[in-house]
C-alpha cells in the first residue's frame, strides 16, 4: 500500500509511516508487541520517499492478515487511520493470493457489450430514467424514448427505490417492457438496468423481480449497500453491475482518503463491478480532473490478476455535445452516462440519437 | 438537513443550496423538472444563513422520498453531493415517520449495563484482546486477565477476524470460557463481545457461533459491513452491538462530509448501535476535539423518537491515568475503551483493576 501524507522532515515521515504500520496491525505501541509478531504481523515500511512536506510510504502487510475476508482487508488498508487527517492511499498492489479471493467483474467490458448486443468495439451510451416522483408508466415512457434513440443501457436513476409513486415491481416490469418494445421496433438490443439499492434483507426478492422481468443487469452503490454485500451479489446473482459512486465521495479528498483509481479502480472492480460510474471532468463535480479520470480509466482496464477489465462509465454531467471530444481522449472502451444534457433538450429520443449516431460512426 | 459550505456572497450561498436541493432529488436542472414535482420532490431550501465565507443551509426533503429504506435515505442526505468538496452535514432532524422505520438500540445504555451485571449508574470499562497474530489460547488468557481486573466488557480487537493464527470458532469459545471462569472466581459478570466483521454471507453462521458460546453482544463496523446490514442484524440477531468507527473517518473532514454527531450520533444509533466507539480527544487521533466528543456524547443520549439512548464509548488512546479527568466531564453514562495504555503496563489485570476501582468508587 502506498500512503501519502505531509511531514516536516524525513525523520517525521519515517515515524508516521511506522505509526501507520503499527496502528493498522497490532494497534499497540512497538514496545508492547510480542517479539515473534514483530516481523510477521506488524506492517513493514518498505520505503519512505519525498521532500519538503509531501511524502509517500510503501507499507507491506502479511497477506494472511486479511484472512481471505474483504471486511478485514478494508480494515487493514484504511480502518483506524481513516480517523486521522492527511493520510491518503495512492496505490495498492495486491498479491495473487488475495486477488484470487475476489470475484472480479463477471461480465466486464466485453460482457457489458454483449448484454446490449454491441458487436463492434465502440463506446457505449447510457441514460437514466428520472426524476423520482414520476409514475412507473411515465418512467417507462422515458425508457422507451431512450431505447429508440439508440441508448445501449437505459438505467434507473439512482434515487428510484421503492417509493410509492412508482413501486419497484411495477416499475421494473413496465420499464423493461418499454425497452423491449423499442428493441422490437428498431432491431437493436438495448438493456434496462434497474436500481438494486434495496434494504439488504430484500435484495434476494429484488433480484427475483429483475430476473423475472428479464433484466440482465442492475445499478448499485457499493458504499451504501456495503462493499462486501456487492462482492456477495456478484458471486451469486448472475447480473451485470454498474457501480455508482454515491456516498463514496468523502473518500476522495485531495489530502485524505483513498485515491479514486484505488477505491473505484481496484476495489470496486475486485468486488465485481462490470462498469464503474464516476463524475467526469468538466461536469457538475469540479474536483474531478481529467487526469484523475484518465488514471481511473486506465486502472479499470489494466491487468489485475486474472480478473476481467471493467468498463469506465463517465457521468456526472457529461455534455452531449462534448462526447466526440472525450472519445478522442478516452478511446473505445468507455461508456458515457448522459443525464441533464438530454433532459434539457426535451426531445429525449432525438437527443439520444445524435449522440448514439456519433458513437456508432466515430 | 443542515448543510455547511463556503460561499463568497449570500447570492452564491442560495444558489449552492438550491443546487444541492436539486442534485439530491431530481438530479436534473430546474428548467427540466415537471412542474407538479417542483414542490413535492425537489428539496426545499428553508433557510440560508451565514456571513463572510461560512454558510449553512437547511434543506427539507419530502419524507416519502426515502421509501422507508435506509439505502435511499443515505443517498438522499449525501449521495451525489459526497462527490463535491466543501459540503458538510452539520445537523439532521428526522420526522417521526422516518425515525419509526429504524430499530434503534435494542439494548441501549441500560441494556449494556445489564449485559455485564452493572446495577449502579457508573461508567463502564472495556478493553480489547490483541494483537492479531496471537493464538486463541493466548487471546483467551488476555481476556481472563482483563475480566479478573474488573473490565465490564472484554472485546475482540477489531482486527481479529478468521485469520489462521486464531480461527474464529476456537477463539470465541476460548475467550468466552476465560471470561466466564474469571466471573466465577471474582463473582462479577464481565461480558465478552467478539468481532462480527465477517463476510456478509457468513454473518448468520458467525452469529450462531456467538450464541452457542453464550456471548450476549458483538463488535462490528457499520461502514465496512454496510449500514443497512447492521440495521438488519440489530433487528434479528438478539445481540448487543458496539459500533466501531473504522473506515468511517473520511466522512469526518472539517469542511466536507458528515459531522460525527450526525453519522455516529444519529445514524449509527438509529441502525441499532447500543454503544458507539469514537476516538477520544487527547488520544492518538488529534483531529478529535473535546468539543466534538461532547457533542457526540450528548447526541447519543438525547431523545430521538422513541429510541433508547446509546452508550458513548471513548477509545482511540484513552490513558488509564486520565479516566478521572474524563469522568468529571463526561458523567456516568459513558464507557471507556482502553487499549495501549493497559498493554504498556504489562500487568493487564493490575492495570485494569486500578481503572475499574476508580470507576466503581468515583
This model of the complex carries an ipTM of 0.97
Give the residue among B275, B281, B292, B348 at the shortest CA–CA distance from B318: B281
CA dihedral in degrees (B296, A263, A158, A332; nearest 10)? 160
pTM of the model: 0.98
Closest to A295 measured CA to CA, from A320, A266, A315: A266
Q: Name residues of chain A where pLDDT drops below 50.
A: none
CA nearest neighbour of A186 among A361, A352, A359, A358: A352
DSSP conformation letters of B97-108: HHHTTS---SSH
Pairing state between β A335-338 and A311-315: parallel
| Side-chain-facing half-sphere of A362: CA atoms under 13 Å | 20
- Residues of chain B contacting A286 with CB distance shorter than 8 Å: 84-85
Q: State whether B279 and A83 contact (CB < 8 Å).
A: yes
DSSP letter for each residue of B45-78? EEEEEEETTEEEEEEE--GGGGTT-HHHHHHHHH
For residue B40, list chain A residues with Cβ-Cβ distance below 8 A: 133
Interchain pair A69, B199: CB under 8 A: yes
User: Nearest to residue A160, comparing CAs of B78, B20, B72?
Assistant: B72
* Minimum-distance CB partner of B71 among A37, A83, A197: A197
Give Rg (Cα) of chain A.
22
Q: Where is B210: in which H helix or E strand?
A: helix B203-213
Which residue from B277, B204, B288, B280 is spatially nearest to B239, judged by alpha carbons?
B204
Quick check: B200 and A252 CB within 8 A?
A: no
- A51 phi and psi angles, rounded to 5 deg: -165, 165
Q: Decide if A248 and B78 are in contact by the 8 Å CB cutoff.
A: no
Contact B69 A41 (CB under 8 A): no
| CB spacing of B246 vs A84 below 8 angstroms | no
Tens digits of per-residue pLDDT, A232-281? 999 999 999 999 999 999 999 999 999 999 999 999 999 999 999 999 99
Kindly report the nearest CA distance between residue A121 and chain B, in angstroms.
30
Judged by CB atoms closer than 8 Å, whether chains meet at B37 and A250 is answered as no
Nearest CA in chain B to A226: B226
C-alpha span between B244 and B141 (Å, rounded)? 24
| B150's grid cell | 474488573
DSSP label at residue A28:
S
Q: Between chains, do B250 and A251 touch, taking CB under 8 Å as contact?
A: yes
Write out chain B's pLDDT in tens, 362 residues: 999 999 999 999 999 999 999 999 999 999 999 999 998 999 999 999 999 899 999 999 999 999 899 999 999 999 999 999 999 999 999 999 999 999 999 999 999 999 999 999 999 999 999 999 999 999 999 999 999 999 999 999 999 999 999 999 999 999 999 999 999 999 999 999 999 999 999 999 999 999 999 999 999 999 999 999 999 999 999 999 999 999 999 999 999 999 999 999 999 999 999 999 999 999 999 999 999 999 999 999 999 999 999 999 999 999 999 999 999 999 999 999 999 999 999 999 999 999 999 999 86
In the Cβ-directed half-sphere of A237, how many Cα atoms lie within 13 Å? 32
Q: What would the grid cell of residue A104 be?
A: 472480479
Distance of CA A244 to the CA centre of its chain: 5
Q: Which three cell numbers stand for residue A340?
A: 441533464
Q: Which residue of B has its CA nearest to A62?
A: B133
Give chain A positions within 8 Å (CB) of B221. 71, 75, 79
How far B19 CA sits from the closest chain A CA (Å)? 10
> What residues contact residue A87 under an 8 Å CB cut-off, 6+ apart?
A3, A4, A5, A20, A81, A256
Å between B125 CA and nearest CA of chain A:
18
Q: What contacts A307, CB < 8 A, 6 or more positions away?
A: A99, A102, A104, A105, A269, A270
Amino acid at each position: 500500500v502506498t500512503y501519502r501524507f505531509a511531514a516536516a522532515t524525513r525523520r517525521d515521515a519515517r515515524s508516521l509511516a511506522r505509526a501507520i504500520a503499527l496502528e493498522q496491525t497490532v494497534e499497540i505501541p512497538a514496545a508492547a508487541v510480542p517479539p515473534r509478531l514483530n516481523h510477521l504481523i506488524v506492517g513493514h515500511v518498505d520505503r519512505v520517499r519525498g521532500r519538503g512536506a509531501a511524502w509517500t510510504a510503501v507499507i507491506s502487510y502479511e497477506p494472511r492478515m486479511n484472512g481471505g475476508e474483504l471486511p478485514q482487508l478494508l480494515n487493514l488498508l484504511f480502518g483506524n487511520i481513516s480517523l486521522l487527517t492527511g493520510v491518503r492511499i495512492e496505490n495498492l498492489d495486491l498479491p495473487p493470493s488475495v486477488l484470487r479471493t475476489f470475484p472480479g467483474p463477471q461480465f466486464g467490458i466485453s460482457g457489458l457489450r454483449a448484454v446490449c448486443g454491441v458487436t463492434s468495439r465502440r463506446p457505449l451510451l447510457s441514460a437514466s430514467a428520472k426524476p423520482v416522483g414520476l409514475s412507473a408508466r411515465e418512467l417507462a415512457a422515458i425508457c422507451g424514448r431512450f431505447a429508440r434513440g439508440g441508448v445501449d443501457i437505459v438505467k434507473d436513476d439512482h434515487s428510484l427505490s421503492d417509493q410509492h409513486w412508482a413501486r419497484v415491481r411495477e416499475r421494473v416490469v413496465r420499464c423493461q417492457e418499454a425497452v423491449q418494445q423499442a428493441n422490437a421496433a428498431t432491431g437493436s438490443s438495448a438493456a434496462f438496468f434497474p436500481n438494486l439499492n434495496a434494504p439488504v434483507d430484500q435484495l434476494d426478492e429484488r433480484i427475483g423481480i429483475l430476473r423475472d422481468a428479464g433484466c440482465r443487469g442492475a445499478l448499485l452503490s457499493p458504499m451504501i449497500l456495503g462493499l462486501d454485500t456487492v462482492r456477495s451479489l456478484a458471486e451469486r446473482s448472475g447480473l451485470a453491475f454498474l457501480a455508482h459512486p454515491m456516498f463514496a465521495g468523502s473518500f476522495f479528498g485531495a489530502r485524505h482518503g483513498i485515491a479514486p483509481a484505488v477505491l473505484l479502480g481496484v476495489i470496486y472492480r475486485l468486488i465485481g463491478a462490470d462498469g464503474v460510474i464516476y463524475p467526469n471532468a468538466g461536469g457538475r463535480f469540479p474536483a474531478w480532473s481529467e487526469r484523475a479520470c484518465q488514471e481511473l480509466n486506465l486502472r479499470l482496464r489494466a491487468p489485475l490478476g486474472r480478473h476481467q477489465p471493467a468498463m469506465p462509465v463517465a457521468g456526472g454531467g457529461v455534455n452531449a455535445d462534448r462526447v466526440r471530444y472525450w472519445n478522442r481522449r478516452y478511446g473505445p472502451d468507455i461508456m458515457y452516462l448522459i443525464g441533464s444534457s438530454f433532459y434539457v433538450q426535451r426531445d429525449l429520443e432525438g437527443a439520444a440519437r445524435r449522440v448514439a449516431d456519433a458513437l456508432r460512426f466515430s
